Structure 1
Amino acid sequence: MIVTVIGLIRFGFSLLFGVVISVLLSGIKSTRKNKFIISFICIYFLFVQFVSWWILGLDLTSKLYPLIIHLPMIVILSLYFKCPWHISAISVLTGYLCCQVPRWIGFLAGAAFDSKIADHVFYIITVFLAYYLLKRYVVKSVRQLMIKSPKSCLLLGGVPLFYYIFDYVTAIYTNVLYSGAEWAVQFMPSTISVFYFVFVILYYIETQKQADFQRERDMLDTQLRQAKTELESLRQIQQYGVAYRHDMRHHLALLQGLASKGLIDEIKEYLKTAQSDMDAITPMRFCENETVNLIISSFAAKAKQWEITLTVDVKLPNLLTFTDTELCSLLSNALENAIHACQNIADISKRYIKLRMYSKNSKLCIDIRNSYQTEPVFHQGLPVSNEQGHGYGTKSMAHIVEKHGGIYQFSIKDGLFIFQATA
């Protein structure tokens, strides 16, 4: 009688342990309401388990466990707590797998003391210890792997799934495992070995993808910082222009002194130098937006240096939804790529860039077309480059446009490379 009572208590603790571990792995928030619901679920399952044991017996209840406990638990996690179905299923399967260690320790204790009571008691004690260790050291790591991607989640659930099937087929629905059948004894070690190596391979691939993603993200962050630095430099040049114009009275005084002495050649030379200095630091004006003026002025000078014809048609208001840094990164990358594509064309007359920008319905519209020497190669809609350190500019441009809920397109038409965006 005592053995039966302790066995039922063990059966109850096993249920509670599996439910709680499943809840932890599924990532349900520990709110007061959720704790109440989970407590109610545990009481309900204990009641169902007890009624099934009372009517059908312990052996048949164990065989019906997938239908009366495990499947309903998956449904509750998925429908009520809104967990993805694969995470719900794998959480329940993993909770079942976690019961194996207490079961094994209870078995060892029962064999050592030659007592079924010892088996049950040590099982119950180990359940508490396992819960503490799993919650403190294991659950968080497993949870992170499960939510990383559906692929890693399903891979992680492979061993619990195969163990679940194996345990029910060989130990609960049949007695194959305890009969000493060689295939049954070797099945789980073989399965674990296979999943170990598959997991290592796929985890390495996933790690490499994450490393590549992080590297690209770092490059994009670097480009934004460079854009900010370049914008500050352009603004500094603008300030030099303001200061230069402020000092114009000094230049005029000097010219008046030279004129009074009749030094015409010196006046001409001074005016030539002053004009060159003014051109170098005075941004051209293309529209009302000062940031766009500064950026286009800078690249107009670069285009002139490479003997590239830059045609500009810009009609923009002073205020745009883009930050100055985003504008600088977007335009700088686009114009720099255009100049890079044109500068190697042997025929100077064929080096040209056409820039058109305007605002429509509070959205920024960009159309940049340029000639090129080598036809670009596209991958997933973006032009790619084999040159070291190149290829991140277009990704940065796409990221900025998408950030503002816009659309973009890179294309080739009539011998021109075209970038169009609306955001």
Structure 2
Amino acid sequence: MWGEPIFLLLTEAARIYIYMRCCRMCIGSYKVHKRPAAVIFAMLWGIDCLIGASVSPKMAVEVAPSLYFVEVLLLFGASFFYQGTAIRRILTAILLPMAYGVGKWTIIFTLFRTMDVNERQLLLGTVVSAAALGILEICMERFRRTRQEQEREWLEQEIRMYENQFQLIRQSQQAVRSLRHDMKHHMKMLADMIGNGERDNALAYLASMGAFMDKGEEYVSSGNERTDSILNYMISRAKAAGIAVEWDIQIPEQLDMSPFDSNVILSNLFENAYNAVQEVKDPRLYIRMKYDRGILCITMRNTYSASKAKAAALPSGAAPAWTAASEEHGYGLKNIRRVAGKYHGELTVNTEGDMFEANVILFLQESDTPSAG
């Protein structure tokens, strides 16, 4: 006799707890201690339990709209204890109980083929609906954590790029200081060689000075520090792996583009190319960036193993099939397409012989700074 009411109380408590977790995920962290928000959720639990215990199953459908309205008001009130925008508060307060309510009665109708259910059938539908809501919350949490891990991985990579750039700058400064310190000795040595008619020796000595200065070479120096750091990191990594690299960078010092977005595009293009050239005897990589009147074009070309190519249709349906060394390759291209879409751009890929080419076109706000070259 008492088992069903107690089970209903526990089920409703579990559902309200899921509401709390969903609000935190969808709106943001707590502004203050979560106790004030918990009070509102406890009120919501009490109202739901009171209505569930006092209303007959046949009347449950009739009171559902009123209960939905009450839940929206209380959830919206609780949302102000979270750090989030107004639109997130409103959408969460409206959609969360709607998802549960619609799902609950859909499940009940699917299970029993009628909305005129008895008490046990209503309880079973409530339990299944709460479980379905819990599964949805688990999926949302996993997606959120996956996204956070991906963003953390990109940030860690960006840190490594900046460290590489700073290392190049430090090495260059050290070389300049060392050369400046010994400049008088170098000038005397060159003067003596020229005075004695040792032209070839003087030229060789100058070449050795140039090689000394080239230690810690900064490959790309467009003036756009963030992009330069990414490109220098990629080029140095490729060269260290024995890959022949060519590049042509013509961009202004300022681009109306998020550094995070540029990192996503360039890093994914490079990782795909870097993985592909590991399987060929003649690894080559070509990087091109050109900015002109608000349009940024990024091209990454690399050798690849055509025998391991995978056939996959592109969204446009016009380009030939592309190759992927792994599932991560395709996932990286999806990330690039997602970012390109933010700038009303697109990603296209082509193959020609033993070369794979990826092109990204982005439409940015036109910079006041003229493009290089």
TM range (shorter): 0.5 to 0.7
Say which one has the larger Rg.
1
Distance 1:303 1:197 in 2: 50
Q: What SS is found at the alignment partner of 1:199? A: helix
Query: Pairwise mapping of residues 76-225 of structure 1 onto structure 2 (< 5 A)?
Result: 98=47, 101=50, 135=74, 147=92, 153-159=98-104, 184-225=118-159
Q: Deviations over 1:245-287 (max 9, x none)?
A: 6446245147359859x9x999899767544332223434675
Query: Pairwise mapping of residues 242-253 of structure 1 onto structure 2 (< 5 A)?
Result: 242-243=176-177, 246-247=180-181, 249-250=183-184, 252-253=186-187
Q: Indicate conservation of the 8 Å contact 2:161/2:229, yes or no.
A: no
The equivalent residue for 1:408 is: 346
Q: Indicate conservation of the 8 Å contact 2:162/2:230, yes or no.
A: no
The equivalent residue for 1:360 is: 292
Task: Report the alpha carbon displacement of residue 400 of structure 1 after superposing the two structures with TM.
Answer: 5.1
The equivalent residue for 1:309 is: 244
Distance 1:328 1:207 in 2: 25
Q: Indicate conservation of the 8 Å contact 1:401/1:407, yes or no.
A: yes
Task: Report the alpha carbon displacement of residue 371 of structure 1 after superposing the two structures with TM.
Answer: 1.1
Q: Deviations over 1:338-371 (max 9, x none)?
A: 233224312x3xx322333211222221122111
1:372 counterpart (304, 307, 322): 304
Distance 1:326 1:146 in 2: 27
Distance 1:148 1:379 in 2: 40
Q: Deviations over 1:184-215 (max 9, x none)?
A: 34332232233244334444333333332333
The equivalent residue for 2:276 is: 341
Q: Deviations over 1:64-118 (max 9, x none)?
A: xxxxxxxxxxxxxxxxxxxxxxxxxxxxxxx9x94771695799xxxxxxxxxxx
* Residue identity opposite 1:416 in structure 2: M
Q: What SS is found at the alignment partner of 2:99? A: helix
The equivalent residue for 1:422 is: 361
User: How many residues were matched structurally?
Assistant: 284
Q: For the structure 1 residues 205 and 412, does the alpha-carbon distance in structure 2 shift closer, same or farther, using more than 3 Å as the test?
A: same
Q: Indicate conservation of the 8 Å contact 1:287/1:293, yes or no.
A: yes
TM-score between both structures, scaled by the size of structure 2: 0.53
Distance 1:299 1:103 in 2: 62
Task: Report the alpha carbon displacement of residue 139 of structure 1 after superposing the two structures with TM.
Answer: 5.7
Q: What SS is found at the alignment partner of 1:370? A: strand
Q: Deviations over 1:283-325 (max 9, x none)?
A: 3467575665665555545444444333333333343334667
TM-score between both structures, scaled by the size of structure 1: 0.48
Distance 2:310 2:181 in 1: 48
Distance 2:144 2:94 in 1: 12
Q: What SS is found at the alignment partner of 1:190? A: helix
The equivalent residue for 2:189 is: 255
Aligned-pair Cα RMSD in Å: 5.4
The equivalent residue for 1:123 is: none
Q: What SS is found at the alignment partner of 1:280? A: coil
Q: Indicate conservation of the 8 Å contact 2:193/2:202, yes or no.
A: yes
Could you list the runs of 5+ residues in structure 1 that have no partner in the other structure?
1-26, 28-94, 108-130, 171-182
Q: Deviations over 1:41-77 (max 9, x none)?
A: xxxxxxxxxxxxxxxxxxxxxxxxxxxxxxxxxxxxx
Q: Indicate conservation of the 8 Å contact 2:243/2:285, yes or no.
A: yes
The equivalent residue for 2:254 is: 319
1:229 counterpart (151, 158, 163): 163
* Residue identity opposite 1:312 in structure 2: W
Q: Indicate conservation of the 8 Å contact 1:259/1:267, yes or no.
A: yes
Q: For the structure 1 residues 283 and 224, does the alpha-carbon distance in structure 2 shift closer, same or farther, using more than 3 Å as the test?
A: closer
